[in-house]
């Protein structure tokens, strides 16, 4: 087979292939076959189609490119390198150096190289999102497309168009087999996101072999049923057919587009193309040399970039993007003068900052014995904050009336098909897609949130983890937090979930113990710009503590604090969170009456408390006081650090039971009496 050519376009495509092969082979690790197959697609989308300025990779109106099949990471790295995408420092300043240097490619998958095994957001400019788990990238892309629609609806004027970008996602058989992709595609089809294009690599190969082993559905029919515009390209190497399909995407004004591209994995490698041997392992240097020979490239040169290839990218995406970015600058300058208030909102959003006065309406709740469910006080605080942050947007997985997560202030509105101005999103019963979509919204600069029942965090875990890996300040509102769910029984009563979510590094899990703790936990979470936060909230009421008698809820900002204290060294420290905190307070009253010296510690966020200096931690939990009791309607794991080896725990050791919530608490012995008994033991 010979595919040698002097055509600059083909030469550029083959250079992407060769760089990818060399990097994988040098690392002796990775996936060479998909970059070899999809190099023409990446070239056509990035170099010939996208509005993207390599000199300003964070330009707000850039088209987005998401490599959802993240195992093919060298495809993205090679393309970004040849396109000359500039590096950006942590402050957002563009540097006079490449984002992906040839040296990085030579050190693919090695410590210190920004070319990780899968694309990692913020490791290098041009990587729009972390795409390790299959399906994550395409779900993020739906959030990115939704963000553009929302920004355009709220900020564009008849004369000044600031936002009209498209989002392209390259996906694989594996992406489309994952359930999250179907959930996300269903949302996109329903919302008629005509600014979204998925390019599906239909190569019929997975790690185990041919897709016939496990996958025989008609993808085109599925996506047509989901409301997508479905197109086909019979040969990935046919750049004219790719260009025509992309033009049809641009012409479609009421649906997202799926372009099904038939490719040959490992194309050009004579002994391994179209086999699973080209998928998840290096080809071997001999096969690499044969492939290069087939392309007409020097077979013995590694990391070779022929003359004219970088110039080809510069004269296409470079020139086109520069012109588009300069035109946008002119519109933005005009907009700042004609719409100063809206421009100020956008400037805050672009900078990742909160507007002045964002927290001025956070309520202070009066003491009440009856109290309220923290889901209810959360709804009040959320609305007080969101009405002062114009770019805060989110919704629930069909549970807004129960989560109290809907924005009810004047002008909040709903985000609906063809009506993209509203701030209330409706994800339907699609928790995994919701977690991917809110990540995409956050990556687009919006302060996003998603809500559901806490037990369904199981369905969201992939997205939760990626929020933290990418340092995105997404807010998760998770209600019905314990056995307090009551009659719905064990399937709906989260038991191990607090521990599971606290185990995610960087995920700040807040479980506030009354309404004022809700307010202060929100205040703390909103100030965190580089980590996600989770609010774990009750369905049942709990007392609103009298803060003239107990310490200020502002202590929540440090994760844990002394709620009430005694004279001198305590005989016992009682700890709690959420709906069980008041039980610790009641137990302290009873123990104090019995002559015990008691300290009560509220622990709304273990993650933040653990990050405090040791002096503060010791001031709250003196090491010499080893008689400690914690209460929480979950499992013990993660409390041992705070109660110590001599500590006692009042909580769950198995799954729940169906019955009225107060009866369930009594059935499992999670109450004031159990705390008193443990303290005396």
Q: What residues are labeled active site?
A: 431
| Cβ burial 488-513 (10 Å sphere, 16+ → b, else e) | eeeebbbbebbbbbbebebbbbbbbb
Smallest CA-to-CA distance from 633 within 560, 676, 583, 563 is with 583
* CA 482/CA 495 separation, integer angstroms: 6
CA angle 606–476–155, rounded 5-degree value: 135
- Report whether 259 contacts 269 (CB < 8 A): no
Please give the order of strands across the beta sheet that includes 598-602.
561-564, 598-602, 572-576, 628-635, 648-652
- Mention every residue, 6+ apart, whose C-beta is less than 8 A from residue 122: 470, 471
- Mention every residue, 6+ apart, whose C-beta is less than 8 A from residue 396: 403, 405, 406, 426, 427, 450, 451, 452, 477
- Report whether 155 contacts 52 (CB < 8 A): no
Handedness of CA 232, 235, 240, 246 (dihedral sign): positive
* CA 521/CA 510 separation, integer angstroms: 7
* CA 572/CA 276 separation, integer angstroms: 63
Handedness of CA 376, 573, 633, 452 (dihedral sign): positive
- Mention every residue, 6+ apart, whose C-beta is less than 8 A from residue 639: 575, 630, 632, 647, 649, 651
Secondary element (H or E) of residue 538: none
Angle between the 33-42 and 8-27 helix axes, to the nearest 10 degrees? 150
| Cβ burial 75-104 (10 Å sphere, 16+ → b, else e) | bbbbbbbbbbbbbbeeeeebeeebbbbeeb
* CA 78/CA 102 separation, integer angstroms: 9
* CA 68/CA 118 separation, integer angstroms: 10
Q: Which residues pair with 508 in a beta bridge?
A: 533
* CA 520/CA 552 separation, integer angstroms: 10
N-terminal to C-terminal alpha carbon distance within the chain: 82
Pairing of strands 508-510, 424-426: unpaired
Smallest CA-to-CA distance from 291 within 558, 643, 24, 565 is with 24
| Cβ burial 138-162 (10 Å sphere, 16+ → b, else e) | bbbbbbbbbbbbbbbbbbeeeebeb
């Amino acid at each position: 087979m010979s595919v040698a050519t002097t055509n600059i376009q083909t030469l550029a495509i083959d250079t992407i292939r060769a760089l990818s092969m060399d990097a994988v082979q040098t690392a002796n690790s990775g996936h060479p076959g998909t970059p070899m197959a999809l190099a023409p697609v990446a070239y056509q989308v990035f170099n010939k189609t996208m509005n993207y300025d390599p000199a300003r990779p964070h330009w707000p109106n850039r088209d987005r490119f998401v490599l959802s099949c993240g195992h093919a990471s060298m495809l993205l790295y090679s393309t970004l390198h040849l396109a000359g995408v500039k590096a950006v420092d942590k402050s957002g300043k563009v540097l006079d150096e490449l984002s992906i240097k040839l040296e990085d490619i030579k050190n693919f998958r090695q410590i210190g190289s920004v070319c990780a095994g899968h694309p990692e957001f913020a490791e290098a400019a041009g990587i729009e999102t972390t795409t390790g788990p299959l399906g994550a990238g395409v779900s993020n892309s739906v959030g990115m497309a939704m963000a553009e629609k929302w920004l355009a609806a709220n900020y564009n004027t008849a004369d000044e168009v600031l936002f009209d970008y498209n989002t392209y996602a390259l996906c694989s058989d594996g992406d489309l087999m994952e359930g999250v992709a179907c959930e996300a595609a269903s949302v996109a089809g329903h919302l008629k996101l005509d600014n979204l294009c998925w390019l599906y690599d239909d190569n019929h190969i997975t790690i185990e072999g041919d897709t016939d082993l496990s996958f025989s559905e008609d993808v085109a029919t599925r996506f047509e049923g989901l409301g997508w515009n479905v197109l086909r390209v019979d040969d990935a190497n046919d750049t004219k057919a790719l260009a025509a399909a992309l033009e049809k995407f641009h012409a479609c004004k009421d649906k997202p587009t799926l372009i099904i591209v038939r490719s040959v994995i490992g194309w050009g490698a004579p002994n391994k193309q179209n086999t699973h041997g080209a998928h998840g392992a290096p080809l071997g240097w001999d096969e690499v040399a044969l492939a290069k020979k087939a392309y007409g490239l020097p077979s013995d040169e590694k990391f070779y970039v022929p003359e004219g290839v970088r110039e080809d990218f510069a004269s296409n995406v470079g020139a086109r993007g520069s012109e588009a970015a300069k035109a946008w600058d002119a519109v933005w300058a005009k907009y700042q003068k004609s719409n100063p208030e809206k421009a100020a909102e956008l400037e805050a959003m672009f900078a990742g900052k909160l507007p002045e006065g964002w927290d001025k309406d956070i309520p202070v709740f009066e003491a009440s014995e009856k109290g309220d469910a923290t889901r209810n006080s959360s709804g009040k605080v959320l609305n007080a904050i969101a009405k002062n942050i114009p770019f805060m947007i989110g919704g629930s997985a069909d549970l807004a009336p129960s989560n109290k997560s809907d924005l009810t202030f004047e002008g909040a509105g709903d985000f609906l098909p063809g009506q993209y101005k509203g701030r209330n999103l409706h994800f339907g019963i699609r928790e995994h897609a919701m977690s991917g979509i809110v990540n995409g919204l956050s990556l687009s600069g919006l302060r996003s949130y998603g809500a559901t029942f806490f037990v369904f965090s199981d369905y969201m875990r992939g997205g939760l983890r990626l929020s933290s890996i990418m340092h995105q300040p997404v807010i998760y509102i998770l209600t019905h937090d314990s056995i307090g769910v009551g009659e719905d029984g064990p399937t709906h009563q989260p038991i191990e979930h607090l521990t599971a979510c606290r185990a995610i590094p960087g995920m700040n899990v807040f479980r506030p113990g009354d309404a004022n703790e809700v307010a202060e936990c929100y205040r703390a979470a909103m100030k965190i710009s580089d980590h996600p936060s989770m609010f774990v909230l009750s369905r049942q009421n709990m007392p609103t503590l009298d803060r003239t008698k107990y310490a200020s809820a502002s202590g929540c900002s440090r994760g844990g604090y002394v709620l009430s204290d005694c004279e001198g060294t305590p005989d016992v420290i009682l700890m709690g969170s959420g709906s069980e905190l008041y039980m610790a307070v009641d137990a302290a009253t009873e123990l104090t009456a019995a002559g015990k010296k008691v300290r009560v510690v509220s622990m709304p966020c273990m993650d933040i408390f653990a990050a405090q200096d040791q002096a503060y931690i010791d001031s709250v939990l003196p090491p010499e006081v080893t008689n400690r009791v914690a209460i929480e309607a979950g499992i013990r794991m993660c409390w041992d650090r705070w109660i110590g080896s001599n500590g006692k725990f009042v909580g769950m050791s198995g799954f729940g039971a169906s019955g009225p919530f107060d009866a369930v608490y009594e059935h499992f012995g999670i109450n004031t009496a159990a705390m008193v008994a443990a303290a005396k033991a």
